[in-house]
């Protein structure tokens, strides 16, 4: 797979490969001697910014920690400067846990993502319920650095750990009628406090979908970790989708069901506000949101005196890899 580095990223924004690898090796080493579990520890040294590692942030069964620690870095990684761990894990959208950016980290502390299973349904030769262990069996985990561009016009660069969604979907032998894949998040108001709220504008559970060729695209991945650690609850533990050329809301978290369908499945934000959020949701600086421009984005970390505004790229910079999927389509109509 080829993930090219777009030519217009300033070199000042780029983490040299050697430093990135050194950081990875350092973190791997830390794993092997078991220091990353120490609450409140600060990992110093090769990291441009220190990573505060709390016990809660590498929670999960030992087998999963081992798999994640042994993930191979994808050699074609995008090399933009990484967004620090604190921002990736404390500035979140996970409305099941609240509507403020710091709610998911605060309110998901007691969420139990293990044991976990995913139902596979619909137009496929093999369907049924599969445990997380079944899903990861034989899957070579990779670390991939992707940009995440939220429709709200902020963005991050995150080193995910996971595997191509296609490797999983192929196992279930989708039939010729499988034109789409529908995804569903857990609905469990006891664990997800905002699902209890009578004022919620979302009809739970959160649902998303992709066309089958988008789902099978080599860039589309399922993540189980980030920054070499188990995926924190607030980022969608234990299993979430990552579709780097689409607005972040397509990257559905804490997935409990995947269904192969013949018709385009309903999607949460499109149900809530169809004139604002489409099914495709491809990052596109030329197609504005009805209430704000999508031409630029605020790359985190950003502050009042250094807002760090950068130009948004078509398909979030992955046009060489994905533009062919939309050949001949009017991207203004299919937003
Ligand atoms: N998945 C579920 N189940 N619930 C959500 O509220 N928010 C989406 C997406 N996946 C969301 C979700 C949005 S709007 C974004 S931008 C990304 O998750 C944010 O992912 P992050 O918090 O890991 O950065």
pLDDT tier for residue 2 given thresholds of 50, 70 and 90:
very low
pLDDT at 325 over 90: yes
User: Closest ligand 1 atom, CA of 202?
Assistant: 6
Q: Which of 9-13, 84-88, 160-164 has the lowest mean pLDDT?
A: 9-13
pLDDT tier for residue 57 given thresholds of 50, 70 and 90:
confident
Report pLDDT for 24. Answer: 52
Mean pLDDT across the stretch 101-112? Answer: 97
Mean pLDDT across the stretch 123-145? Answer: 97
Report pLDDT for 13. Answer: 36
Report pLDDT for 28. Answer: 42
Report pLDDT for 76. Answer: 60
CA distance 293 to 132: 39
Closest CA relative to residue 268, chosen from 194, 330, 209: 209
pLDDT tier for residue 37 given thresholds of 50, 70 and 90:
very low
Alpha carbon separation from 235 to 86, 109, 225, 324 (Å, rounded): 12, 12, 9, 30
User: Closest ligand 1 atom, CA of 148?
Assistant: 24
Query: DSSP string covering 93-121, please?
Result: --GGG-SSTTHHHHHTTT----S-EEEEE
pLDDT at 178 over 90: yes
In contact, 280 and 183? CB cutoff 8 Å: no
Report pLDDT for 333. Answer: 97
CA distance 181 to 265: 8
User: Closest ligand 1 atom, CA of 206?
Assistant: 3
Alpha-carbon 116 to chain mean position: 18
Protein residues with CB under 6 Å of any ligand 1 atom: 92-96, 148, 150, 185, 206, 235, 248-249, 251-254
pLDDT tier for residue 78 given thresholds of 50, 70 and 90:
confident
Pocket test for ligand 1, best of 248, 258, 270 (most atoms within 8 A of CB): 248
User: Closest ligand 1 atom, CA of 205?
Assistant: 3
Report pLDDT for 75. Answer: 63
- Going from the Cα of 253 to the center of ligand 1, the distance in angstroms, rounded, reads 6
DSSP 8-state assignment for residue 170: H
Burial 165-175 (b: 16+ CB within 10 A, else e): bbebbebbebe
Which residues are CB-contacts of 18 (< 8 A; sequence separation ≥ 6)?
A: none
CA distance 109 to 99: 16
- Going from the Cα of 207 to the center of ligand 1, the distance in angstroms, rounded, reads 11
pLDDT at 70 over 80: yes
Mean pLDDT across the stretch 52-65? Answer: 78
Closest CA relative to residue 287, chosen from 305, 275, 301: 275
Domains and CATH numbers, the chain: 12-326 (3.90.420.10)
Residue bearing the CA closest to ligand 1, atom 5: 94
pLDDT tier for residue 46 given thresholds of 50, 70 and 90:
very low
Q: Which two tokens stand for residue 100?
A: 């403020």
Mean pLDDT across the stretch 129-135? Answer: 98
SS (H, E, C) 205-270: CCEEEEEHHHHCCCCCEEEEEECCEECCHHHCCCCEEECCCECHHHCCCCEEEEEEECCCCCCHHH
Average of per-residue pLDDT values in the chain: 87
- Going from the Cα of 250 to the center of ligand 1, the distance in angstroms, rounded, reads 8
Residue bearing the CA closest to ligand 1, atom 3: 253
User: Closest ligand 1 atom, CA of 241?
Assistant: 10
User: Closest ligand 1 atom, CA of 235?
Assistant: 23
- Going from the Cα of 269 to the center of ligand 1, the distance in angstroms, rounded, reads 11
- Going from the Cα of 247 to the center of ligand 1, the distance in angstroms, rounded, reads 10
Q: Which of 99-113, 189-203, 289-303 has the lowest mean pLDDT?
A: 189-203
pLDDT at 42 over 70: no
Residue bearing the CA closest to ligand 1, atom 16: 248
């Amino acid at each position: 797979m080829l993930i090219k580095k777009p030519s217009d990223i300033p070199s000042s924004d780029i983490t040299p490969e050697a430093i990135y690898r050194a950081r990875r090796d350092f973190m791997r080493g830390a794993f092997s001697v078991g220091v990353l579990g120490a609450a409140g520890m600060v990992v110093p040294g090769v990291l441009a910014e220190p990573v505060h590692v709390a016990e809660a942030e590498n929670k999960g069964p030992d087998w999963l920690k081992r798999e994640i620690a042994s993930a191979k870095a994808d050699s074609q990684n995008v090399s933009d400067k990484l967004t620090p761990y604190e921002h990736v894990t404390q500035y979140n959208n996970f409305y099941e846990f609240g509507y403020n950016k710091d709610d998911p980290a605060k309110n998901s502390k007691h969420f139990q993502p293990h044991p976990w299973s995913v139902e596979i349904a619909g137009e496929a030769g093999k369907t049924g319920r599969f445990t997380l262990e079944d899903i990861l069996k034989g899957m070579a985990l990779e670390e991939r650095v992707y940009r995440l561009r939220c429709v709200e016009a902020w963005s991050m660069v995150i080193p995910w750990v996971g595997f191509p969604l296609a490797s999983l979907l192929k196992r279930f032998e989708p039939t010729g009628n499988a034109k789409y894949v529908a995804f569903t998040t857990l609905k469990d108001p006891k664990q997800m406090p905002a699902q209890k709220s009578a004022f919620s504008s979302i009809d739970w559970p959160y649902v998303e979908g992709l066309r089958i060729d988008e789902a099978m695209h080599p860039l589309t991945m399922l993540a189980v970790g980030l920054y070499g650690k188990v995926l924190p609850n607030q980022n969608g533990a234990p299993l979430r989708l990552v579709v780097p050329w689409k607005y972040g809301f397509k990257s559905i978290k804490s997935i409990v069901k995947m269904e192969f369908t013949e018709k385009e499945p309903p999607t949460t934000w499109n149900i809530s506000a169809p004139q604002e959020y489409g099914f495709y949701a491809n990052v596109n600086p030329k197609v504005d949101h009805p209430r704000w421009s999508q031409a630029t984005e605020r790359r985190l970390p950003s502050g009042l005196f250094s807002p760090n505004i950068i130009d948004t790229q078509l398909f979030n910079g992955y046009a060489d890899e994905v533009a062919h999927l939309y050949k001949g389509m009017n991207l203004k109509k299919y937003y």
